[in-house]
Amino acid sequence: MSTGNVTNIIKNLNDSLSCFTKGLPIALIVIPTVLVVMTLTQNSALYCGGAFITFILGIVLHDPQYIHTGAAPAAMLGHYISFYGMALGYFSGYFLMMSMYSQKIGNLLSIFVTTLILAIIMSWSLHSDSLNDVPDEIGSTLAGLCVGGFIGMLFANFIHNLDKKKVTDDEELNTQVICRTYQDGLLIDEQKTSAAE
């Protein structure tokens, strides 16, 4: 493999990373919406609802007057709260909360560390042509992670409570009542009925 090919591959990977990062706010809407269309469950609808709320909040909180000094500006950049950070935060906050409920500490730690690494890579990718703006973008992204993460955790909590209520209702419906009749200490009759009857 020649040096030119390696350089082209690295450049293509860098461009792909940049495209993925810049498309993250749209992915926040597209992925949950596709999930709802494919599965059409109450849980996926709640997950999609949280994504839409995060998306709308991201549009409201981003600074339309922000001027990006780089050669290839990315849309939806802002001074204080990054829309990109909010999108990443929603996904990671949701999975963090679900890992807490399933008591998988390894998953919890890996999601947290991966999110921080992705936040730094994303900040670098958004400002790869003007690296002086990267520290500010990291701070803005971390603020966005907190806001989006809170919304993701909130909707994960809604979904978990809904699932828990379904399990409790199912257990109540499936409870059996056993009626035994004894005579002189001996069992002469036993009848089983469901509590739902």
Closest to 120 measured CA to CA, from 102, 97, 139 = 139
Q: What is the pLDDT of residues 66-96, one digit of tens each?
A: 555 554 555 566 667 888 888 889 999 999 9
Q: Tell me what pLDDT residue 67 has.
A: 53
The DSSP call for residue 80 is S
| Total number of domains constituting the chain | 1
Give the domain extent around 149: 3-194
Mean pLDDT by 10 residues, the chain (197 residues): 76 76 80 86 88 87 60 58 86 90 82 87 75 76 89 90 73 63 72 60
Rounded Cα distance, 133 and 137, in Å: 6
Rounded Cα distance, 101 and 66, in Å: 39
